Amino acid sequence: MRIESPRLLAALPELGVEYRPGTSLAELTSLGIGGTTDLLRVGQYQHLPALLRMLQEGGIEHRFLGGGTNVLIGDGELGWVALQLAPRGSAADAQIEGASVWVDASADLGRTVTYCARHNLGGLEGLIGVPGSVGGALRMNAGAYGTEIGPHVREVEVYRAARKANETVRGADISFEYRHTSFASGDIMLRARLELPERPYEEIVAGIRVCNEKRRASQPLNQKSAGCIFKNPPGGSAGRMIDGLGLKGLRRGDAMVSDRHANFFINAGHATCADMLALIAEVRSRVRAAHGCELEEEVIVWNA
Ligand code: EPU
C-alpha cells in the first residue's frame, strides 16, 4: 500500500518516523517471503499513539512487524502499511538495574541474553538461539529448552490498542501461556523489565553453549525459515509426527519441509507465500488423516 495523504507524509518527520516507500518485506523476514508496501520505522515511542491515530483517520490499515522471524506475509502489493520500531543501537537498547534489565522491544533477543550474561544475570540461556526481537519474544512468550521469557517479566511498556495509548503493565497482570499471551492483537510491545537470577558468568555461558549445541544438532539454522511452523499439540510433538509420516523433503514450489527438523519449513529458493500455505495445508491434512489431530500454526500468517 502506498501512503498518498500529503498531510500524513508531511507529519512523519515531526513524529520521528523514517519513511521507506515500496519496501520488499521479503528482505525483512527470516523466511525471505513477503510482498511490497510502505514501511514506517518509529524512532520515538511516545509518538506512536499519534502516528496510529493519523493512520486510522486516513483509513490506512497497518500491521506491526517486529523482528520478522515468526511471520508469513502474503505476496505482491500488500493492502496495509508495515510499522517497525527502529532499534536504538546495541549501546542504548538495554540497561541493567540491580537484578533486572530494562530492554527495548526492538533489541535482538540473542544479544540481550549475552548482554545479561556479561552482567551476571542468567535464566535466559535456553532462549539464546531463538531468532527475533525481545518484543516478539514477549508477545508470543518465546520458549526453548525449558526456558520461557514470561516468568521473568516484571513490567512491560506497551501501546494498548484498546486505549489508543502507551501504558506500563505489571508482569503479574499478563498471562503467559505456551506461545500465547493475554496481549491483544493490536498491542505493540515497547520496552520491558526482566528480573533475572544472579549467577557467575562462566556458569551462564556454559548453559548457553549446551543450548547452542543442541540447536545446531537438530535445527536447520543456516536456511531461511520461521522456526517451527506448527505449535506442538498438547502432550505431542508436531516435528515427530510430521517426520513419522515420511514428509521431510516434501515440497510445494520452493517451500520445503526441512530434512533436518520436520516442523521447520524452509524457503529453498524463491518460495512464495502461496507455496508455503500449500505446504502447510498438505502437511496439516496428512497429520489429520493419520493422527486425527489438527495442527495449529505457530507462525503468524498475514495473507489477507
Ligand atoms: N523429532 C523427530 N523428527 C524431527 C524433529 C523432532 O523425531 O524432524 C523428535 C525429536 O527427536 C524429539 C521430539 O521430536 O524427540 C521433539 O523435538 P525437539 O526437541 O526438536 O523439540 P520440538 O518440540 O520439535 C520445541 C520448540 C522449538 C524449540 C525446541 C527446543 C515448539 C513448536 N517448538 O521443538 O521452538 O527450539 O523445542 O526447546 O514449541 C519455535 O518455537 O519456532 C521453535 C523452533
Output the DSSP codes for 205-250: HHHHHHHHHHHHHHS-TTSB--SBSBPPPTTS-HHHHHHHTT-TT-
Ligand 1 pocket test target in 147, 211, 240, 242 with most atoms within 8 Å of CB: 240
Q: 90 pLDDT band (50/70/90 cuts)?
A: low
User: How do the residues of the chain divide into helix, strand and coil, expressed in percent and rounded to 5?
Assistant: 30, 30, 40
- Number of the ligand 1 atom closest to the C-alpha atom of 130: 36
Query: How is residue 70 written as a grid cell?
Result: 515468526
Q: 87 pLDDT band (50/70/90 cuts)?
A: confident
Task: Give the mean model confidence (pLDDT) for residues 181-199.
Answer: 97
Ligand 1 proximity of 299 Cβ (cutoff 6 Å): no
Which residue's CA is minimally distant from atom 3 of ligand 1?
A: 240
* Contact call for residues 70 and 298 (beta carbons, < 8 A): yes
154: left (phi over 0), alpha (psi -120 to 50) or beta: alpha
Closest C-alpha to 273, from 42, 101, 71: 71
Q: Cα(286)–Cα(294) distance, rounded to whole angstroms?
A: 10
Q: Cα(123)–Cα(131) distance, rounded to whole angstroms?
A: 17
Ligand 1 proximity of 120 Cβ (cutoff 6 Å): no
Q: Cα(89)–Cα(257) distance, rounded to whole angstroms?
A: 35
Residue 8: how many other CB atoms lie within 10 Å:
19
User: How confident is the model at residue 304, as a pLDDT?
Assistant: 79
Ligand 1 proximity of 247 Cβ (cutoff 6 Å): no
Which residue's CA is minimally distant from atom 2 of ligand 1?
A: 240
DSSP assignment letter at 108: B
Q: Cα(129)–Cα(177) distance, rounded to whole angstroms?
A: 20
With vertex at residue 256, the alpha carbon angle to CA 252 and CA 259, rounded to the nearest 5 degrees, is: 145
Mean pLDDT of the chain: 96
pLDDT of residue 225 exceeding 80:
yes
Give tens-digit pLDDT for 241-261.
Answer: 999 999 999 999 999 999 999
Which residue's CA is minimally distant from atom 14 of ligand 1?
A: 240
Q: Which residues of 261-299 are buried (b: 16+ CB within 10 A; e: fewer)?
A: bbbbbbbbeebbbbbbbebbebbbebbeeeeeeebeebb
Ligand 1 proximity of 228 Cβ (cutoff 6 Å): yes
270's CB contacts (< 8 A; 6+ apart) are 254
Ligand 1 proximity of 144 Cβ (cutoff 6 Å): yes
Share of the chain above pLDDT 70, in %: 99
Q: 91 pLDDT band (50/70/90 cuts)?
A: low
216's CB contacts (< 8 A; 6+ apart) are none
Give tens-digit pLDDT for 2-27.
Answer: 999 999 999 999 999 999 999 999 99
Query: How is residue 281 written as a grid cell?
Result: 495445508
Task: Give the mean model confidence (pLDDT) for residues 50-56.
Answer: 97
Ligand 1 proximity of 218 Cβ (cutoff 6 Å): yes
Distance 200 CA to ligand 1 centre (A): 29
Q: 117 pLDDT band (50/70/90 cuts)?
A: very high
Distance 235 CA to ligand 1 centre (A): 12
- Give me the sheet containing 36-42, strands edge to edge: 17-24, 36-42, 81-85, 62-64
Q: Cα(135)–Cα(109) distance, rounded to whole angstroms?
A: 9
Query: How is residue 156 written as a grid cell?
Result: 512491560
Query: How is residue 116 written as a grid cell?
Result: 545479561
Which residue's CA is minimally distant from atom 26 of ligand 1?
A: 144
pLDDT of residue 120 exceeding 90:
yes
